[in-house]
A and B are shown apart, each in its own frame.
Chain A
Amino acid sequence: MSGILPYPLLSLALLVLWLLLNQSISAGHVILGSVLAVLASWAMAALRPEKPRIRRPGAALRLTGMVVVDILRSNLAVGRIIVRSREPGVNAGFMTIPLDMRSRQGLAVLSIIITSTPGTIWMNYDAAKGTLLLHVLDLVDETVWIRTIKGRYERLLMEIFE
């Protein structure tokens, strides 16, 4: 796929973006959007980014569902801490998690997942040691967070990206 379409997924996403923005699936917009999507993917190819290997769409779908449920649950948990707790943030703290994943794309997705989930923030990734520094709002039991991040997210992300 290195000829006309160096990044087929990117081109497809850009075409969908164009059609959604214009709120139309007329032939004219499909053609215009396709031309723009292909041109943009050529521009992307000129930057020569490291080509990600994305496999297992089923795992990606399962991960998405998991993240949506977790974000919903964390919203409730953090909301409860803010509203109910007499001294909110008293349990907040830093923790370190050893990661096995080395794929840069996988780590990028993991950082977005962790930070957009209320209650956890990605602070720092130590590439030499492969450890991740997190800040957690409700740090009562570290093993729960390690189990969530390693068992739920990292395993699926490694299936997708490695």
Chain B
Amino acid sequence: MTALGDLPAWAAFLVAFCVLLGAAVTLIGSIGLLRLSNFYARVHAPTLGATLGMVSILLGSAFYFTMLEGRPVVHEILIAVFVTLTTPVTLMLLARAALYRDRTEGSTEVPASEVVEDLIPPGQERPKERMP
């Protein structure tokens, strides 16, 4: 980031603050991955990097390029939108896979499955048995 010298000092400080804050939050999330005890608790940790960490780094990026190019650069918002839409889906997939595995193994740590057909979304009929 040698071009950081072209910015006024206050802007450089602001950009550095945003990026460092985002990096610190993401680091705390990664430490959480190490420190938390089981899989379900661990899934919570990376969301720190995917929310506040991501937004803060993107704010720094948007502000830096806006100042440098002298025009509003806001397409970072697309990254925020796509990360916000995709990360939860991945986390849910992981968590549900873990739940499925634990239930199959008969673990007592997780709540037991009561209804087998819980994958069918509301308003939709159960698939009919195919005729032989």
The interface of chain A, by Cβ under 8 A from chain B, is: 17, 20-21, 23, 71-72, 75, 78-79, 81-83, 87-90, 92, 94, 96, 102, 104, 107, 111-112, 115-130, 133, 135, 137
Contacts and interface: CB of A to CB of B under 8 A. Distances in A.
Contact of A82 (B35, B38, B78, B91): B35
Contacts of A71: 51-52
A79 B46 CA distance: 11
Nearest to A95: B111
18 contacts: A23-B75, A71-B52, A75-B51, A78-B44, A89-B35, A89-B37, A92-B37, A92-B41, A96-B111, A102-B123, A112-B84, A117-B47, A118-B48, A122-B92, A122-B95, A124-B118, A127-B122, A128-B115
A88 B96 contact: no
Nearest to A92: B41
Contacts of A115: 47, 87-88, 91-92
Main secondary structure on A side of the interface with B: mixed
